[in-house]
Amino acid sequence: MSAFGESPDGTIEILNIVPLQGPGGIVAASCDAAISLAVDEINRGDGILGREIRTTNIDGGRRPQEVADEVAALLATGMVHAITGWHTSAVRLAVSQANASRVPYLYATGHEGLTDELPGVLMLGEHPEVQTLPAIHWLERELGIRSWAIIGNDYIWPHVSARAIRRSLGDRSAIVLERFVPLGAPDFGDFLGHPALDLADGVVILMVGADVARFNRQFAATGRADKQIRISPAADENVLLAGGVAANHNFYVASSFFIDEKTADGRDRLDRYRRLHGSFAPALTSFSNMSYEAVHTLKAIAETVGSLEVPEMHRALDQGVLLETPGGSRGFLGNQAVQPGYIALANGFEFDIIAQIT
């Protein structure tokens, strides 16, 4: 029996939205295992507000409205207290409308940085101005990159991010090629064979999960990996594994959530993860670490505010409270978490952090 008892009144129910299909499905097992670690750690203590937490996974790889309809049905029971998720922005927009600010919604994915989110939606992932753009400018300064090609999936996050890149570069001629493809596109031959790609020093990849791995394999097969670098804000260790060593050469990633085994915190977190799940568990990756942090951030909000009510939560964050999580102190500017960003270079199936960029 749980130390908290078995009554539903003694629990806090969290819906966790993660894709179980499509290109984002590559992260599902890692995210589920990371969330299980956060739940175990929190429930070994006093839970959230003295209540045991439980999570229910929702498949975020379906059409956005399908996901939103399921979330709405579960919210209608009155038994859901919070939502977390790693999934696309298209799903987020639909789910936030279904949620209608009823419960906190912690979005643990990089996003496009729009400012019209409904109350209750907290952005733990980075937007382009603190992730993609600083990474691009770092590569320009350090590696002398001057011209870029962009390839993205055809939905809101890649389109808005590409516009932000064009504005930041200031000179449209710096972008020699730009294309958008459907989620799950099997072949990138039109992009890889385009004559304008020869003019690019680097490629910005604004795609999701398995699409990034597939693109990297096809890119490396052309022989371009030795002379053109790639940068993505949406790849984790699962993407490196799926792509293979050869596909990861000269591949850079920007994120705030790398697991760094060189630090005491990183080693300790990995040790706890392996003790819970065993040596053959899915990798604890930068993406799944975001999901882990989302659950702990929810606890930090509840304990700091004394409630999970959305208006009270926003009042506290607007007053500048700092939330203590396993990843350190976390503040918010509006609904956006403020945290350092890093750029890393793929090294086989792992990342080597090479610089702090924000």
**For tokens 């604004």, what's the residue?**
206
Q: Which residues contact 149 (CB under 8 A, 6 or more apart)?
A: 175, 176, 177, 178, 191, 196, 197, 200, 202, 203, 204
313 burial (CB, 10 Å; 0-12 / 13-18 / 19+) is: buried
The alpha carbon of 239 is separated from its chain's Cα centroid by a whole number of angstroms, namely: 13
pLDDT at residue 1 in the model: 33
pLDDT at residue 255 in the model: 92
| Alpha carbon distance 80, 72 (integer Å) | 10
Bridge partners of 229, per DSSP, are 202
pLDDT at residue 219 in the model: 98
Closest C-alpha to 214, from 182, 259, 175: 182
pLDDT at residue 3 in the model: 53
Q: Which residues contact 299 (CB under 8 A, 6 or more apart)?
A: 42, 48, 53
One digit per residue, the tens of pLDDT, for the chain of length 358 reads 345 555 456 899 999 999 999 999 999 999 999 999 999 999 999 999 999 999 999 999 999 999 999 999 999 999 999 999 999 999 999 999 999 999 999 999 999 988 789 999 999 999 898 899 999 999 999 999 999 999 999 999 999 999 999 999 986 679 999 999 999 999 999 999 999 999 999 999 999 999 999 999 999 999 999 999 999 999 999 999 999 999 999 999 999 888 887 777 888 999 999 999 998 999 999 999 999 999 999 999 999 999 999 999 999 999 999 998 988 888 999 999 998 899 999 999 999 999 999 8
Two tokens at 218? 């096809």
pLDDT at residue 2 in the model: 45
Domains of the chain: 11-127+263-339 (3.40.50.2300), 129-259+342-357 (3.40.50.2300)
| CA angle centred on 225, ends 221 and 228, rounded to 5° | 135
What are 268-305's pLDDT values in tens digits?
999 999 999 998 999 999 999 999 999 999 999 999 99
DSSP characters over 8-29 = GGGEEEEEEEE-SSSGGGGGHH
